[in-house]
Structure formats: C-alpha cells, structure tokens
Amino acid sequence: MISLTDLVDSLGPGLLRMVENGHDAQVHDVVLAEPGETAGQPGEIVLGVGVTGPADAVALFERADAAGADGVVLKAPLADDPEVIAAASPLRPALIELQPDTSWTHVVWLVRGAIDRAYAPLPGPPGAQGVHNDLYALADTAAEIADAPVTLEDARSRVLAYSGRQDTTDPARVSTIVGRRVPSQVIDHLRASGVFRRLARSSDPVFVPEGPDGMLPRLVIPVRAGGEWLGSIWVVARTPVSRDRVRRLTDLASVLALHLLRLRAEAGVARRVSADQLRTALRDGSRITAPAPPWRVVTLGSVDETEDVRQRLDLWDAITQRFGWHRPLLTDVDGTLLAVLTARPQRDDDPGSMPWLRHVLTRVRDHDRTLYAAAGGTAHSHTELPRSRAEAAELDALVTSGRLAPGLVLLEDAWDAVIVERARKATRTDTGLLGGPLPALKAHDETHGTAFLPTLTAWLDHYGDTKGTAQALAVHPNTLRHRLRRMAEVTALDLSSPQTRLALRLQLNALHDQEAVDVRRRSDESAGARRSTC
C-alpha cells in the first residue's frame, strides 16, 4: 500500500508537485480522463489529458470528486491557476501539478511502476530487475554513440550502470566500476575544478581535463528533469567528441532521466513500504524482512532539538547510504528515528552491524558532535523487537535529558542508569512524596534555611563516609555530625536500614527532578513575560 503523498514524494519535484493535499488516501492505479465518462474511482489518480483551461479543469475536478477519485493531475501552469485551486480545495481529490514538458505516457509508465513496486515488492535492491537492466542497455547505447567507454552515475557519484566495452579506459574508471562509486581523490579533483557545481546548475555538457592517477579527460552530459539534476553520463574522451555525437548523447540524457525518475520512485516506494512494515514490527512484534536474528533496535538521534524526525531520517538515510548500508532498516515511531541492526558477530566494515555503527558514529561525530545512537538489548526473535525498542527509547531519553553523554550508548554499559530511571519514575506521584522523613526535612530547609537535603544526599552517595561527605559539602566533619543529629531531632531518620537508604536516595532523585522542572517552568514564564512587555 502507498499513500498519494508518498507516491508524489517518491517521484520528486522533477516530475510532480502536490498543490492541494486532498484526503491523502491509499492509491492503486492511474487512469486517463475520458470526455463524458466517469473520472476515476476510489484509489485512482486521474490524469487531466486534454484539459486546456480553468473551466475544463474545474469540471474535471467535480467529476472526479463525484466518482470518489483521490487525485487529479494537471500540467503547469494550469495547476497553479487560482480558480482551479479554489475549486479543488474543498473537494476530495488532491490537486497535483505535472511539469509542462513531461509526456503523459511517461507519467503513466512511472506512476504505475511505482505503484506496482508498492503492492508487489520485488526481491533484491529496489528497481534491480527492471530499471537497472534498462540502464545497462542505455550505457551501451551511449558508448556506441560516443565510441568510447561510458558510466552512468547519480547525483551522489554512485555508479548505476556502465558500458560493456573496456578499451580506452583508465585506473579511475576501473576503480569507479569496482567500488561502485567514484574514488574520493577523483571526487576531490572534480569538486575543486567546479565540475559538480556546473552540473547542478546547467544542462550544458562539461569537459573535464586530465586528472590525478592517470585519469583521462571526460565528457560529462548532465541528466535533468524539470530543472532537477538527477545524474550524469560520463564518457572517457581520449579524443574530442564531435558536436553531432554530443547532441545525440544529450538526446539520450532525456530518456535516461525518465529511467532515473522511475528508479528513484521505486526505491522511494520500497523504502516507505519497508519503513511501514518495520514500524509495525517494532510496535507489535510481527515478522520483518531482514537478515537473520539476533537484532538490536537502535535510536538514531541528535541533541539538536530544532531538527524534526523527517530531517533526522533524511540525514541518517544519507549517512547509511554513504557508508555502504544501501538497504537500511530505518523507520520512525512516535517521533523517534529507529534502526534495526544485526547483532551477529560481524566485521567492523559489514554494513548494518553494531561494529559498523560504532565505526560510522566515530567518523560522523568528528564533524557533528550532536549525533548519537542508543542501542537496546538483543532481540533473538521478532517478538522481542518491541522490548529492544523500549530499552533503546529509555536510553535515548537519558541522553536527551543529559544524564548520559551522547555517542554510542549500549544497554549493557548503562543498565544501572536505566534501572535507576525506572525506579525514579515510579517514585514520583501526583501528590508528592509517599511519606518518610523527606517532607519534614524539606520543610525545615525552606523555613529555616538549613541544608538538610543536600547533606543527606551527599551522605548517601558517600556510603556514610564522614570524611568524604564533609569534603563534598566543603564543611568540617564536626559540622556534618551536628547536621545529622539535628536531622534526627527534626524527624525520625533511621539510616541503618539498607532499604531505607535506597528509598531515600530514590526520593531525593525525584525531588531533584521536580525542582529542575519547576526552575525551567519559572524561567519560561519569565521569558514569556519579558516578551509580552516588548
């Protein structure tokens, strides 16, 4: 299943743009609007082929709404017409804008491919069985046109396909094909030469002179759709490529753009389907499509509270792809970004494993210290995934509250903090402390300015060691003994019981947290009052 919004997002702004969201229902087909006939039905997207003016567009929307269709596609600039938008806004179907230079036939091909991918996911990497085969055929066609070896790459310099001919090649091309991405030293050379900047901004071919490590000259043809840079055709140009061949390669780039749009759409749909299945499994323990257990559920976060979960998902998706995990098990649950990693013994460079995550975090935190990960305990079957998720969430809360330092936090390394946190939460009640001596000691501190509660906290933390407690409080040991005697006079205080000492320390934790909440609330109220007087 796929929602209309997810479908439009998967195809991207180079093809479609959501103007009015409608009801964002699940969709299963795309149909052409036939004059005088019913315009679609529930679950269908209606293509406004032949609609030329606002009046026709409004009439089509009314027919689609009456039939229960869930979306209507109109070409720009008609989709932005105020009359059309005003008519579409209160109706059921969403209003979707199509780039004006796109063929309706191509839209049907791309949308149906993405929908088919959502309803009948193929085995293997997204789009591998159909679109990738077409890309290799296009690479061979480009090589015949240019009479030179060719690679097809996406906008992240990842190799999508390459031509069969291997003559007139160089070490950079060999490394690119073997490693499935352009070597870092070549990328640095291209970036310094301004090649990527020109590809991102213009549709004009780019000539790249010789580079490091014996890199031969390249002719690069940008691949664009609706102004969006999708990828490039890279030709090993030992000799100059004629103007006619460049023109034919440019024509081929427009065909390649459609395949890249479909590849991206199917990959995006596959990721959304996988994320939905994973989200369900993390909530109820249902089965997932993943490497064999055991697994660990990990929260992936940032202490930067300005980022929402969608931004974190995009960030971590890019990070996992960059470090080789090309089918990451990522999803968001209740505003938290989660990943499922294998807990089997792995090499450090095996993507999707815990050693791999440690390596990745070490690398990325060199540039962004706000990023962290918190891993719950091992799940030996899918039914244990919710428990591992809950443990990861507990660790995540401890990191965001400042009780644990950000980085890679494992349950086995912070189990004591989790247990104390659980007990601390259970200690808090709506009516305050359950009982014991703390209410009387707290009232005495507030009335007489004494320091009974800090003294008791330090004494418990130092196991009753008078010297260590006095040093922590910066007082003389005799002063400490006097305070302890006075506390016993104010209320019944039996510190000889281990159970009493544990209960007192948990209550002190709860009091400290409540005081911190009160301080933040008063600070927020004060800041609000200052703003209101400005």
Q: Which is it for strands 206-208 and 295-302: parallel, antiparallel or unpaired? A: unpaired
Q: What is the pLDDT of residue 512?
A: 78
- Whether 276 maps to a domain, the answer reads no
Sequence-distant (≥ 6) Cβ neighbours of residue 37 within 8 angstroms: none
Q: What is the pLDDT of residue 225?
A: 82
Kindly report the CATH number assigned to the domain that includes residue 176.
Answer: 3.30.450.40
Got the DSSP string for 273-311? Answer: HHHHHHHHHHHH-----SSSSPEEEEEEEES-TT--HHH
Whether residue 19 is found in the same domain as residue 80: yes
- Whether 68 maps to a domain, the answer reads yes
The model scores a pTM over 0.85? no
Range of the domain at 448: 438-532
Q: Tell me phi and psi for residue 159, to 5 degrees.
A: -75, 125
Alpha-carbon distance of 154 to 256, in angstroms, equals 11
Neighbour-count burial for 341-366, b at 16+ CB within 10 Å, e otherwise:
bbbeebeeebbbbbebbbebbeebbe
Number of independent structural domains in the chain: 4
Q: Is 332 exposed, middle or buried (0-12, 13-18, 19+ CB in 10 A)?
A: middle
Kindly report the CATH number assigned to the domain that includes residue 318.
Answer: 3.30.70
- Whether 272 maps to a domain, the answer reads no
Alpha-carbon distance of 91 to 99, in angstroms, equals 23
361, 372 Cβ separation under 8 angstroms: yes
Whether residue 461 is found in the same domain as residue 409: no
Alpha-carbon distance of 41 to 29, in angstroms, equals 10
The type of residue at 480 is L
Smallest CA-to-CA distance from 27 within 152, 101, 115 is with: 115
Whether residue 108 is found in the same domain as residue 137: no
Whether residue 451 is found in the same domain as residue 415: no
Order of strands, sheet of 16-20, starting from the edge strand that comes earlier in the sequence = 16-20, 94-98, 71-75, 44-47, 29-32
517 membership: H or E segment, kind and range: helix 498-532
Q: Which is it for strands 218-225 and 228-236: parallel, antiparallel or unpaired? A: antiparallel
Q: What is the pLDDT of residue 127?
A: 42
For the stretch 145-167, pLDDT in tens is: 998 889 888 887 777 888 876 55
Alpha-carbon distance of 422 to 412, in angstroms, equals 16
Q: What is the pLDDT of residue 126?
A: 41
Q: ∠ at Cα 156 (152, 161), nearest 5°?
A: 20
Alpha-carbon distance of 191 to 210, in angstroms, equals 14
Alpha-carbon distance of 403 to 144, in angstroms, equals 62
- Whether 279 maps to a domain, the answer reads no
- Domain end call among 119, 143, 162: 119
Alpha-carbon distance of 526 to 509, in angstroms, equals 26
- Whether 187 maps to a domain, the answer reads yes
Sequence-distant (≥ 6) Cβ neighbours of residue 1 within 8 angstroms: 26, 118, 119, 273, 276
- Domain end call among 425, 448, 469: 425
Whether residue 39 is found in the same domain as residue 151: no
- Domain end call among 393, 425, 457: 425
Smallest CA-to-CA distance from 401 within 520, 525, 298, 524 is with: 520
Alpha-carbon distance of 157 to 231, in angstroms, equals 8
Q: What is the pLDDT of residue 375?
A: 95
Whether residue 82 is found in the same domain as residue 135: no
Smallest CA-to-CA distance from 418 within 442, 402, 394, 438 is with: 394
Measuring CA to CA, how many Å separate 413 from each of 42, 293, 375, 395?
Answer: 52, 22, 10, 10
Q: What is the pLDDT of residue 526?
A: 61
One pLDDT digit (tens) per residue for the chain, 534 residues:
678 888 888 777 778 889 998 877 888 888 888 776 778 888 889 999 888 899 999 999 999 999 999 999 999 999 999 999 999 999 999 999 998 877 787 788 778 777 766 655 444 444 444 556 678 888 888 988 998 889 888 887 777 888 876 555 667 766 666 555 677 778 888 888 888 889 888 889 999 888 777 788 889 999 988 778 888 999 998 888 999 999 999 988 988 888 888 777 776 666 777 788 888 999 999 888 788 889 999 999 887 766 677 777 877 887 887 787 877 888 988 888 999 999 887 666 688 899 999 989 988 888 788 889 999 999 999 999 999 999 999 999 999 888 898 899 999 999 988 888 888 777 765 556 667 888 889 889 989 999 999 999 999 989 889 999 999 999 999 999 999 999 989 988 888 888 888 888 888 887 877 666 556 666 656 655 555 554
Q: ∠ at Cα 203 (200, 205), nearest 5°?
A: 100
Question: SS3 for 222?
Answer: strand
Whether residue 219 is found in the same domain as residue 349: no
Whether residue 105 is found in the same domain as residue 141: no
Whether residue 390 is found in the same domain as residue 308: yes
How big is the chain by its Cα radius of gyration, in Å?
Answer: 31
Whether residue 241 is found in the same domain as residue 174: yes
- Whether 277 maps to a domain, the answer reads no
Whether residue 225 is found in the same domain as residue 171: yes
Whether residue 466 is found in the same domain as residue 489: yes
Q: What is the pLDDT of residue 413?
A: 92
- Whether 431 maps to a domain, the answer reads no
146, 252 Cβ separation under 8 angstroms: no
